[in-house]
Amino acid sequence: MKKIGVGSHMQHGKYRFIAGFLVLPLTIYGVFLVSPFVQAIYYSFTDWTGLSPDFSMVGFKNYQRLWNDDVFWKAVGHNVLLLLVLPLITLGLGLFFAFMLNVGGRRRKNAAVAGVRGSGAYKIVYFFPQVLSIAIVALLFQFAYNPNSGAINSFLSGIGLDSVRPDWLGDPGLALWCVMAVMVWSNVGFYVVLFSAGMSSIPRDFYEAALLDGANRFQTFFRITLPLLWDTVQTGWVYMGIMALDGFAVVQIMTVGPGGPDYSTEVLSYYLYTKAFRDGQAGYATALGVALLIVTLVFAGIVMKLGRRERLEF
């Protein structure tokens, strides 16, 4: 009897022990993550200004306004475009560079596969932008894009292309692409390193076998490297997706207006910021936040769906 009693007591004690560990993190999670989410959704149904404690419920008014807001749809469009293009270019370049650094070189005597000459140095160079804060990167590019005395147009003049001196950030047709270029530049190095790590875990004998069968570099990449790296690539896609849904810093620091010219670089996060902090419309801004949440959920859903793929054992 006594023994059982002790046992159940101990069982009980074990749960309390575990619960004791979980109370703190769960409370922190609840207070700082769950409750703000719920509150944000609540405030999106109010006309709160963000500048005084009084506000009233307005039902779906903020959402109706959202639906009819051209700028909002423009921002969504830009975020979706970023979501499609950014990962494609960044990961594509990252894969290409990583491949060249690891297996793309000429065959040498002692190794079946090797990177291009000087690949060690390239790896470090590619990683440089990752070390700089995004604010500095955006400022540097702002100078480079200066249409009158910036590096890019000076270079164009230098090679005799004096007639082609675009306004870069000042041109609505180019501005968003300028923003994307900066985001690609600052991120590609990370993926080179990530994919290099992934590639180094692919067994060399696969490459040797492929080379013996007469495969060229192009074939080795698409038949061996890419399939075996697929999960890492997807990881990268998710990360880049996060970048694409944000884009706030680059847009705010670099672009015309900011957000322009003529709303050509407006993104959801920046629009939310202007509504909350410039126009005193925190209620509407929280509604924008909720819209951003929905876009994110849809993105995550799609990635999960596409991500279901057979695993390769090797």
Tokens of 184: 């690609």
Shortest gap between Cβ of 240 and another protein (angstroms)?
10
End-to-end distance of the chain based on CA atoms, in angstroms?
Answer: 54
- CA 258-43-247 angle, 5° bins: 30
Q: Which stretch binds another protein (CB under 8 A): 2-10, 113-121, 147-155, 184-192?
A: 147-155
Q: What is the largest CA-CA distance in the chain?
A: 97
Alpha-carbon distance values, 152 to 12, 155, 161, 235 (Å): 70, 5, 11, 33
Q: Which stretch binds another protein (CB under 8 A): 3-11, 12-20, 208-216, 229-237?
A: 229-237
Tokens of 67: 């639906």
Q: Which stretch binds another protein (CB under 8 A): 40-48, 93-101, 107-115, 182-190?
A: 40-48
| 239 binds another protein, rule: CB under 8 A | yes
Task: Please count the residues of this chain forming the interface with another protein, following the rule CB under 8 A.
Answer: 87
Q: Which of residues 240-259 bind another protein (CB under 8 A)?
A: 241-242, 245-246, 255-257, 259
Q: Which residues have a Cβ under 8 Å from the Cβ of 229 and sit 6 or more positions away?
A: 95, 195, 198, 199, 202
Alpha-carbon distance values, 112 to 209, 215, 314 (Å): 10, 13, 19
Residue 197 CB coordination number (10 Å) = 12
Q: Which stretch binds another protein (CB under 8 A): 112-120, 208-216, 218-226, 305-313?
A: 305-313
Residue from 32, 56, 121, 218 touching another protein (CB under 8 A): that is: 32
| 142 binds another protein, rule: CB under 8 A | yes
| 54 binds another protein, rule: CB under 8 A | yes
Q: Is the peptide bond before 172 cis (omega within 30 degrees of 0)?
A: no
| 55 binds another protein, rule: CB under 8 A | yes
Q: Which of residues 175-194 bind another protein (CB under 8 A)?
A: none
| 312 binds another protein, rule: CB under 8 A | yes
User: Between 8 and 27, how does the x/- string for binding to another protein read (CB under 8 A)?
Assistant: --------------------
| 261 binds another protein, rule: CB under 8 A | yes
Q: Which of residues 76-135 bind another protein (CB under 8 A)?
A: none
Q: Cα(94)–Cα(188) distance, rounded to whole angstroms?
A: 5
| 272 binds another protein, rule: CB under 8 A | yes
